[in-house]
């Protein structure tokens, strides 16, 4: 019987084991070593083309191809031919004007000069342009644009004539800078007006009216009024700011806000057609006289006044002048110090007391009021003026100030603020506050918190730069 050979186990037979095919890993190619003869120009050009081809192929395959041991002795490499990469120095050594052992990198390319290669720099002499001829300004009137151009030319010529910083900062340069700044600077950079009834202070001082059969909510009134007109009559060359502090009522101060700008505008247009006005004293005197004549209906009611005028002349210079009646005051902050622009008209002032006594009024040594009024000059109060010749409406007028670069701001306020704080103190408080609204609000809040403040408060802050 024949047996199936497959069924019979064959001794010592090896069963084949299926295995995966071994993966053949390619060895990384060695870095290409390229040589070129420095004396042969063709070999140098071929080298540059060969490097460009390697760079292009590496960018297409998105693989980094590095070239190492690229060593060419005595080869002067011109950077203008290596336009395919950014050449930046890796190590830099200087010796007597010769760059030695300088290693550059252009992308992945490294080029090393073994021998020092002298580098000569050709510096072309600078072309000396003659300074522009600047003619002196004619005697005729110049517009702002022509004057600005003249000052700018003078400054350019002065800078080209000398490179010494000490000579650049001479007196002429500073004068030109001030003139240039005055031309480019507007009349003012901003202003803000803040006011407060100060009801607690009025209750404390018992200044309310006795209203038996009327509404008691009107017992305490805001008797202060103000004007802030900039631009004035649509002109940015002039600004008018006023504070009126009424007494015995609010009607007179309110009427002043309507009458004063109209009368002032009539007198302003007459002398200032050519914009050469540098002193507005006569303008203030005529305006105050006509305004008080229109307030004759106010016999037992009146108001103090503090009026400030800012204007610009045709030469670009800015000016300011102030006039006042009573105890509303204004201060100019110049270089951290204050300049009083007003003068209080009270019996405590020696010069005012002497004026009243010279008019024929006899005053006692302890007397502080005149016919019931705390001030000796005011608008309205025509009954008191008819009885007492010492009460007048002729204002105190300050001198005209030219606004300088060191002038920072002006503070104009009613006596509610000045009763508790001085002008210098107010200037110091808001010295580092640029926003005029914040500055005015801080002064009002400071006065309201003071227990000695028993009146209405109005504050105007004007930024000059």
- Under a CB-based contact definition with an 8 Å cutoff, are residues 272 and 265 in contact? no
Sign of CA dihedral 145, 151, 152, 154: positive
What DSSP line would sit under 78-105, residue for residue?
Answer: -TTT-TTS-EEEEE--EETTEE-S-EEE
What DSSP line would sit under 139-207, residue for residue?
Answer: SS---HHHHHHHHHHHHHHHHHH---HHHHTSHHHHHHHHHHHHHHS-S-SEEEEEEE--HHHHHHHT-
Q: In this structure, which long-range contacts are made by residues 141-147, counting pairs with CB atoms below 8 Å and at least 24 apart in sequence?
A: 141/314, 142/315, 144/183, 144/314, 144/316, 147/179, 147/183, 147/315, 147/316
> What integer pLDDT is reported at residue 55 of this predicted model?
77
Considering only CA atoms, which of 426, 444, 429 is closest in space to residue 195? 444
Task: Report the SS3 class of residue 457.
Answer: strand
The rounded distance, in Å, linking the Cα atoms of 454 and 465 is: 33
> What integer pLDDT is reported at residue 94 of this predicted model?
39
- Under a CB-based contact definition with an 8 Å cutoff, are residues 79 and 87 in contact? yes
Angle at which helices 171-184 and 144-161 cross, to 10°: 150
> What integer pLDDT is reported at residue 25 of this predicted model?
61
**Bridge partner residues of 87 (DSSP):** 106
Sheet hosting strand 117-118, strand order edge to edge: 94-95, 98-99, 117-118
96: which 2 tokens?
């007597």
Over its length of 465 residues, how does the chain's per-residue pLDDT go in tens digits?
555 555 555 555 555 555 555 665 655 555 555 555 555 666 667 777 777 887 787 777 654 444 444 444 444 444 444 444 444 444 444 334 433 333 434 444 444 444 445 544 444 555 555 554 444 444 445 555 566 666 666 666 665 555 555 555 555 556 556 555 555 678 999 999 999 999 999 988 876 655 444 555 557 899 999 999 999 988 899 999 999 999 999 999 999 999 999 999 999 876 666 678 889 999 999 999 999 999 999 999 999 999 999 999 988 899 999 999 999 999 999 999 999 999 999 999 999 999 999 988 889 888 989 988 999 999 999 999 999 889 999 999 999 999 999 999 999 999 999 999 999 999 999 999 999 999 999 999 999 999 999 999 999 999 998
- Under a CB-based contact definition with an 8 Å cutoff, are residues 190 and 439 in contact? no
Helices and strands (H, E) in the chain, number of each type: 12, 18
> What integer pLDDT is reported at residue 284 of this predicted model?
96
The rounded distance, in Å, linking the Cα atoms of 74 and 38 is: 7
Task: Report the SS3 class of residue 325.
Answer: strand
258: which 2 tokens?
């309507």
Backbone angles phi, psi at 392, to 5 degrees: -135, 175
DSSP summary character for residue 316: S
The rounded distance, in Å, linking the Cα atoms of 442 and 447 is: 9
């Amino acid at each position: 019987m024949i047996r199936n050979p497959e069924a019979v186990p064959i001794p010592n037979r090896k069963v084949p084991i299926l295995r995966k095919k071994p993966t053949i890993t390619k060895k990384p190619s060695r870095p290409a070593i390229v040589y070129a003869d420095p004396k042969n120009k063709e070999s140098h050009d071929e080298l540059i083309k060969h490097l460009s081809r390697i760079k292009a192929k590496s960018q297409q395959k998105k693989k980094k191809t590095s070239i190492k041991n690229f060593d060419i002795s005595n080869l002067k490499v011109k950077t203008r031919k290596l336009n395919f990469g950014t050449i930046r120095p890796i190590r830099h050594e200087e010796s007597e004007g010769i760059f030695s052992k300088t290693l550059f990198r252009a992308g992945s390319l490294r080029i090393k000069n073994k021998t020092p290669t002298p580098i000569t720099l050709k510096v072309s002499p600078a072309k000396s342009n003659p300074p522009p001829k600047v003619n002196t300004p004619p005697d005729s009137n110049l517009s702002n644009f022509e004057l600005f151009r003249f000052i700018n030319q003078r400054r350019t010529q002065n800078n080209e004539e000398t490179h010494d910083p000490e000579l650049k900062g001479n007196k002429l340069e500073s004068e030109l800078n001030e003139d240039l700044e005055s031309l480019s600077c507007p009349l003012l950079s901003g202003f803000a007006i803040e006011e407060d009834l100060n009801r607690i202070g009025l209750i404390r001082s018992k200044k309310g009216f006795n209203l038996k059969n009327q509404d008691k909510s009107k017992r305490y009134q805001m008797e202060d009024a103000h004007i802030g007109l900039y631009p004035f009559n649509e002109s940015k060359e002039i600004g008018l700011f006023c504070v009126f502090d009424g007494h015995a009522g609010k009607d007179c101060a309110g009427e002043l806000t309507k009458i004063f700008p109209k009368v002032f505008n009539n007198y302003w247009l007459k002398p200032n057609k050519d914009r050469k006005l540098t002193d507005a004293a006569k303008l203030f005197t005529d305006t105050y006289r006509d305004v008080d004549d229109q307030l004759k209906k106010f016999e037992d009611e009146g108001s103090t006044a503090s009026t400030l005028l800012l204007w610009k002349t045709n030469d670009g210079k800015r000016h300011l002048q102030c006039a006042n009646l009573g105890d509303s005051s204004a201060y100019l902050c110049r270089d951290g110090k204050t300049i009083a622009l007003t003068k209080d008209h009270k019996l405590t002032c020696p010069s005012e007391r002497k004026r009243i006594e010279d008019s024929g009024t006899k005053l006692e040594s302890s007397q502080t009021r005149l016919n019931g009024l705390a001030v000796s000059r005011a608008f309205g109060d025509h009954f008191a003026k008819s009885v007492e010749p010492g009460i007048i409406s002729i204002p105190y007028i300050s001198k005209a100030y030219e606004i300088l670069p060191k002038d920072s701001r002006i503070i104009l306020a009613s006596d509610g603020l000045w009763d508790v704080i001085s002008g210098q103190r107010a200037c110091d408080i808001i010295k580092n506050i640029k926003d005029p609204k914040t500055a005015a609000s801080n002064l009002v809040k400071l006065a309201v918190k003071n227990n000695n403040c028993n009146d209405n408060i109005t504050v105007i802050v004007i930024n000059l730069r």
